[in-house]
């Protein structure tokens, strides 16, 4: 067996060719004569998959034998993007595959474009989970990701009539998925609804020992699909286990006769419904019953799997926290806290307090937002119906928790009301964030400023109660493999050449050695050349794939100014487009003389709006209206100076194209609202500069690159926001004339019928400017002028660009997961034994 297996693992040219040809014939049932590019991709993908699976089996066997404490990363979202290139690069097989296929007359690299993104996430939070899996694998941590295998990922966005977002289903599994392994042998039942009975000992309801029996009324099956994740430059291959819902019983043949047939088909539909669609809400929870079902389905299956693995060790329950750490990616999987308590108490007979102490030592919770409207809350009535036993357990958790608070702060009922997991009111609600705090040993924010706000504002009472140590910061990071090496091979090669090795790919702090070359003339020229190449390639993409209404190609000599991210009021794409209008009006009135001094710009927008988020969709409409008018301005000289592009259907794969092409990117959220942001890191790593507020990770990026002299800062500080909001609301300060002029221009109909926008704009200049656009607006165009001035001095600009990139070592996801491992999980790397 071993000898034959070793044979299968070999990646010399002829083995790769044999494996490729074999997959063309026996997996695809095709021949060289009818093999199109997609078929070639599929065969290559299956061949790469075989390599992946060998290493994956070895890793899992090694973990089982070594039996270390493992960490389980629970996330309702994994925004993976494409897989093939990342796999061959991480396993160091890109050249081998390239050579093997080249000899057969095929260009391996051109096959990458055939792959559909796995887009099982909304944005930052889902992409973060994907980056962390890459880093966990690269650093050989014994980790396992858990998620849901949605049949439909984030919707496909198209722009209708050149202005409005319309959504299309993303049926990504259309042509089978080579990057997963169906595990039909790994399946668990999941129950919903039903009733709760006191257990035989009659303990239910008694303080301290509230065991009971839940009899669900409805069951489905969770079936496992495994997605292997190779580390870079290591044999470790980790696993993401995604659950798919299936009906519990297969069709009962005897019922086909008596009208039961339709019923059983309907039942199958109902079961499969649970994992059918990713909810497209980013930072705005959807209070839908099906979403809550998804969340419970997820944690119920996941915990059965984790506990089955633990039970094989034959250890006492007291050992659970020494073998199992569970990280909650936001509150979305926080029902896992309740489910573990239920299993320990109801199914394994542990005493409440003993079980609860274990639960708290197992879980840790990552918070990704302080926006009050984005915090997850569920109606008690819904929870009671769907999960009656869990609802009772939540009430009990809350009761014991509030009793302990009352002991510390006797008679402080206002405090109890504030801290209660149950929000009282017209409709009782479960505050999932409070549940997550109470059920975890550690809570972390995702950038320093955000973690400070989490501790001092959002969970202030809890920090006072538990002590500050429960609340820590782990600044987000990104994987340099995908976001530099894969996305920007030209820059990666240049850096490797200059540093003399590619060690920086595993230790990103190595980039700091680039600082020494920031003024080097030759290096600067090569650096600029890379950026130029990437801008030209994006210009080409826009020309080919974006509806430019015959406007001709974008000028790749112009400054590329990019804002790509989910559309949200707090991210202030509205302020950006109003700034564009301001610039447009200024250029229009400028003399030929003055125009000679203006830096040509291309404003590039991209991003999806949640389908039900009216204002976000309106902002997309406005951006496109402005775009259509500016790009069609009769003044040809003006059109050379300003151009607007909306790239539809922003995705991981598009990000890999857009980010390396940016000169400046916009991270302009109202201070204190963006938890971290991660694209800011990606842009800077690729030599783009930032314009931004003192928000999220911007603050730390500025520190690490050498201060705000190397980035363009503007706007109110987080500490000022509360006061400013009150001022705007009650005192109505003078609106800056430039801002008024922009609003008037839009209202005058210069960008088409203004009626859709009037409300949104009037709110800004009356008392509804919650995100302080009018307050920050004057300093925003002013910061843009500093950008123009810096860009005119190309030598200075290039130096800044190199210094920016050189300071990014800290923002590797490798550093982030090491922080988690040390500060939160208490786990160690478990590297594979050297292969003989
Ligand atoms: C919740 C309940 C029901 C339906 C949907 C949701 C839901 C889904 C996704 C709520 C929020 C999200 C996504 C949030 C998100 O992406 N947050 C971002 O996380 C990044 C990684 O930490 C940060 O960099 C960003 O600042 C933060 O906005």
> pLDDT at position 2, please?
86
Closest to 379 measured CA to CA, from 389, 369, 387, 367: 387
In this prediction, residues 342-367 reach a mean pLDDT of 98
User: Which one from 62, 127, 293, 571 is the annotated catalytic residue?
Assistant: 571
User: Which one from 431, 470, 531, 565 is the annotated catalytic residue?
Assistant: 565
Ligand 1 centroid to residue 90 C-alpha, Å: 28
CA 303 distance to own-chain centroid:
23
Ligand 1 centroid to residue 375 C-alpha, Å: 10
Is ligand 1 within 6 A of the CB of residue 230?
no
Say whether pLDDT at 256 is over 80.
no
Mutate to test the pocket of ligand 1, among 75, 121, 125, 377 (most ligand atoms within 8 A of CB): 125
Report which ligand 1 atom has the smallest distance to the Cα of 476. Answer: 22
DSSP string, 537-568: HHHHHHHHHS--TT-----TTSEEEEEES---
**Could you confirm whether 441 is annotated as catalytic?**
no
Q: What is the pLDDT of residues 717-751, one digit of tens each?
A: 999 999 999 999 999 899 999 999 999 999 999 99
Q: Count other Cβ atoms within 10 Å, centred on residue 747.
A: 15
> pLDDT at position 211, please?
81
Mutate to test the pocket of ligand 1, among 78, 130, 283 (most ligand atoms within 8 A of CB): 283
Ligand 1 centroid to residue 520 C-alpha, Å: 42
User: Which one from 369, 442, 479, 678 is the annotated catalytic residue?
Assistant: 678
Say how far apart CA 721 and CA 550 lie, in whole Å: 44
Q: What is the pLDDT of residues 465-518, one digit of tens each?
A: 999 999 999 999 999 999 999 999 999 999 999 999 999 999 999 999 999 999
Is ligand 1 within 6 A of the CB of residue 682?
no
Mutate to test the pocket of ligand 1, among 119, 124, 474 (most ligand atoms within 8 A of CB): 124
Ligand 1 centroid to residue 470 C-alpha, Å: 22
Ligand 1 centroid to residue 281 C-alpha, Å: 8
CB-based burial, 215-228: b 16+ in 10 Å, e otherwise? ebeeebbbbbbbbb
CB-based burial, 119-132: b 16+ in 10 Å, e otherwise? bbbbbbbbbbbbbb
Ligand 1 centroid to residue 613 C-alpha, Å: 15
Handedness of CA 336, 337, 340, 345 (dihedral sign): negative
Report which ligand 1 atom has the smallest distance to the Cα of 121. Answer: 9
Is ligand 1 within 6 A of the CB of residue 831?
no
**Residue with CA nearest ligand 1 atom 6:** 285
Q: What does the H/E/C string look like for 588-639?
A: HHCCHHHHCCCCCEEEEEECCCCCCCHHHHHHHHHHHHHHHHHHCCCCHHHH
**Residue with CA nearest ligand 1 atom 8:** 282
Is ligand 1 within 6 A of the CB of residue 291?
yes
Is ligand 1 within 6 A of the CB of residue 279?
yes
Helices 755-765, 614-631: crossing angle, 10 deg rounding: 110
**Could you confirm whether 368 is annotated as catalytic?**
yes
Is ligand 1 within 6 A of the CB of residue 376?
yes
In this prediction, residues 516-527 reach a mean pLDDT of 98
Say whether pLDDT at 635 is over 80.
yes
Say whether pLDDT at 200 is over 70.
no
Ligand 1 centroid to residue 283 C-alpha, Å: 5
Is ligand 1 within 6 A of the CB of residue 280?
no
Q: What SS3 class is residue 138?
A: helix
Q: What does the H/E/C string look like for 459-514?
A: CHHHHHHHCHHHEEECCCCECHHHHHHHCCHHHHHHHHHHHCCCHHHCCHHHHHHH
Ligand 1 centroid to residue 578 C-alpha, Å: 26
Is ligand 1 within 6 A of the CB of residue 628?
no
Report which ligand 1 atom has the smallest distance to the Cα of 283. Answer: 11
**Residue with CA nearest ligand 1 atom 3:** 285
Is ligand 1 within 6 A of the CB of residue 678?
yes
**Residue with CA nearest ligand 1 atom 9:** 282
Ligand 1 centroid to residue 125 C-alpha, Å: 5
According to DSSP, the β-strands at 218-230 and 181-192 are antiparallel
Could you report the predicted ipTM of this complex, rounded to two decimals?
Answer: 0.98
Euclidean distance between the first and final Cα of the chain, in Å?
16
Is ligand 1 within 6 A of the CB of residue 694?
no
**Could you confirm whether 571 is annotated as catalytic?**
yes
In this prediction, residues 552-574 reach a mean pLDDT of 97
Ligand 1 centroid to residue 817 C-alpha, Å: 19
**Could you confirm whether 678 is annotated as catalytic?**
yes
Q: What is the pLDDT of residues 401-444, one digit of tens each?
A: 999 999 999 999 999 999 999 999 999 999 999 999 999 999 99
Is ligand 1 within 6 A of the CB of residue 675?
yes
Say how far apart CA 629 and CA 625 lie, in whole Å: 6
Q: What is the pLDDT of residues 787-820, one digit of tens each?
A: 999 999 999 999 999 999 999 999 999 999 999 9
Q: What is the pLDDT of residues 154-190, one digit of tens each?
A: 999 999 999 999 999 999 999 999 999 999 999 999 9
Is ligand 1 within 6 A of the CB of residue 696?
yes
**Could you confirm whether 23 is annotated as catalytic?**
no
> pLDDT at position 254, please?
57
Ligand 1 centroid to residue 678 C-alpha, Å: 12
**pLDDT averaged over every residue in the chain:** 96
R_g (Cα) of the chain, nearest Å:
28
In this prediction, residues 452-465 reach a mean pLDDT of 98
Is ligand 1 within 6 A of the CB of residue 123?
yes
**Contacts with 733 (C-beta within 8 Å, 6 or more apart), sequence order:** 727, 775
Residue 712 dihedral angles phi and psi, to the nearest 5°:
-110, 105
Report which ligand 1 atom has the smallest distance to the Cα of 446. Answer: 22
**Could you confirm whether 588 is annotated as catalytic?**
no
**Residue with CA nearest ligand 1 atom 2:** 285
Is ligand 1 within 6 A of the CB of residue 283?
yes
Say whether pLDDT at 291 is over 80.
yes
Is ligand 1 within 6 A of the CB of residue 124?
yes
Q: What domains does the chain contain, in order, with CATH numbers?
A: 334-473 (no CATH), 537-794 (3.40.50.2000)
Is ligand 1 within 6 A of the CB of residue 289?
no
Closest to 76 measured CA to CA, from 367, 337, 339, 275: 275
pTM, full prediction: 0.97
Ligand 1 centroid to residue 652 C-alpha, Å: 16
Is ligand 1 within 6 A of the CB of residue 125?
yes
Ligand 1 centroid to residue 672 C-alpha, Å: 15
> pLDDT at position 264, please?
78
pLDDT band at 202 (very low <50, low <70, confident <90, very high): low
DSSP string, 105-132: T--HHHHGGGPPPEEES-SHHHHHHHHH
Say whether pLDDT at 205 is over 50.
no
Is ligand 1 within 6 A of the CB of residue 286?
yes
């Amino acid at each position: 067996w071993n000898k034959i297996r070793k044979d299968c693992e070999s990646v010399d040219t002829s083995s790769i060719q044999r494996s490729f040809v074999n997959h063309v014939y026996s997996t695809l049932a095709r021949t060289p004569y009818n093999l199109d590019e997609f078929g070639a991709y599929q065969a290559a993908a299956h061949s790469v998959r075989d390599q992946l699976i060998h290493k994956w089996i070895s890793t899992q066997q090694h973990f089982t034998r070594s039996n270390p404490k493992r960490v389980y990363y629970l996330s309702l979202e994994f925004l993976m993007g494409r897989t093939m290139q990342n796999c061959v690069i991480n396993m160091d097989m890109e050249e081998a595959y390239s050579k093997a296929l080249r000899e057969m007359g095929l260009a391996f690299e051109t096959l990458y474009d055939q792959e559909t993104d796995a887009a099982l996430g909304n944005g930052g939070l889902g992409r973060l989970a994907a980056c962390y899996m890459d880093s966990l694998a690269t650093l050989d941590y014994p980790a396992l990701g858990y998620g849901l295998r949605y049949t439909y990922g984030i919707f496909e966005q198209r722009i209708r009539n050149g202005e409005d977002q319309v959504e299309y289903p993303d049926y990504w599994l259309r042509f089978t998925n080579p990057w997963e392994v169906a595990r039909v042998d790994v399946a668990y039942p999941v129950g919903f609804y039903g009733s709760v009975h006191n257990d035989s000992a009659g303990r239910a309801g008694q303080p301290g020992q509230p065991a009971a029996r839940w009899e669900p009324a409805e069951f489905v099956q969770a079936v496992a699909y495994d997605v292997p994740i190779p580390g870079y430059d290591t044999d470790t291959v980790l696993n993401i286990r995604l659950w798919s819902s299936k009906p519990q019983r297969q069709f009962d043949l005897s019922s086909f006769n008596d009208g039961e047939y339709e019923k059983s088909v309907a039942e199958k539909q109902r079961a499969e419904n649970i994992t059918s669609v990713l909810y497209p809400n980013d930072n705005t929870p959807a209070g839908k019953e099906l979403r809550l079902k998804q969340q419970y389905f997820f944690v119920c299956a996941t915990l059965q799997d984790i506990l089955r693995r633990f039970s094989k060790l034959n250890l006492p329950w007291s050992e659970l926290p020494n073998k199992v750490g569970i990280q909650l990616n936001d509150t979305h999987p926080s029902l896992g806290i309740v489910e573990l308590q239920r299993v320990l108490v109801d199914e394994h007979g542990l005493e409440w307090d003993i079980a609860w102490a274990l639960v708290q030592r197992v879980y840790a919770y990552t918070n990704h937002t302080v926006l009050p409207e984005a915090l997850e809350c569920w109606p008690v009535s819904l929870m009671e119906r769907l999960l009656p036993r869990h609802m009772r357990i939540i009430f009990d958790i809350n009761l014991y928790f509030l009793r302990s608070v009352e002991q510390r702060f006797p008679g402080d009922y206002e405090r109890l009301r504030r801290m209660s997991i149950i929000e009282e009111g017209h409709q009782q609600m479960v505050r999932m964030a409070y549940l997550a705090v109470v059920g975890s040993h550690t809570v972390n924010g995702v950038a320093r400023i955000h973690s400070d706000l989490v501790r001092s504002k959002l969970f202030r009472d809890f920090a006072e109660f538990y002590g500050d140590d429960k609340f820590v910061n782990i600044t987000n990071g990104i994987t340099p493999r995908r976001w530099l090496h894969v996305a920007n091979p030209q820059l990666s090669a240049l850096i490797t050449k200059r540093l003399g090795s590619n060690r920086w790919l595993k230790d990103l702090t190595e980039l700091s050695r680039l600082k020494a070359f920031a003024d080097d003339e030759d290096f600067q020229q090569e650096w600029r050349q890379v950026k130029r190449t990437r801008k030209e390639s994006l210009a080409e993409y826009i020309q080919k794939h974006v509806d430019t209404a015959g406007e001709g190609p974008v000028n790749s000599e112009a400054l590329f100014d990019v804002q790509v991210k989910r559309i949200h009021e707090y991210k202030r794409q509205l302020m950006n487009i109003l700034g564009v209008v301001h610039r447009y009006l200024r250029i229009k009135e400028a003399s030929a003389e003055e125009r000679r001094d203006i830096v040509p710009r291309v404003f590039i927008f991209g991003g999806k709006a949640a389908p039900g988020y009216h204002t976000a969709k309106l902002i997309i409409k406005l951006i496109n209206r402005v775009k259509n008018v500016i790009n069609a301005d009769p003044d040809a000289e003006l059109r050379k100076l300003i151009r607007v592009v909306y790239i539809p259907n922003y995705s991981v794969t598009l990000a890999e194209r857009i980010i390396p092409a940016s000169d400046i990117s916009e991270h302009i959220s109202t201070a204190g609202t963006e938890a971290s942001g991660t694209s800011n890191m990606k842009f800077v790593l690729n030599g783009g500069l930032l314009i931004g507020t003192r928000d999220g990770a911007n603050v730390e990026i500025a520190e690490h690159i050498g201060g705000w002299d190397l980035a363009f800062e503007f706007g109110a500080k987080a500490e000022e926001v509360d006061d400013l909001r009150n001022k705007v609301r009650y005192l109505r300060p003078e609106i800056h004339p430039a801002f008024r002029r922009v609003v008037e221009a839009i209202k005058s109909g210069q960008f088409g019928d203004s009626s859709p926008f009037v409300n949104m704009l009037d709110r800004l200049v009356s008392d509804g400017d919650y995100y302080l656009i009018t307050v920050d607006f004057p300093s925003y165009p002013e910061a843009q002028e500093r950008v123009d001035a810096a860009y005119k001095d190309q030598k200075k600009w290039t130096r800044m660009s190199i210094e920016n990139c050189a300071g990014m070592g800290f923002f590797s996801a490798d550093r982030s997961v090491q922080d988690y491992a040390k500060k939160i999980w208490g786990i160690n790397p478990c590297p594979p034994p050297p292969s003989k």
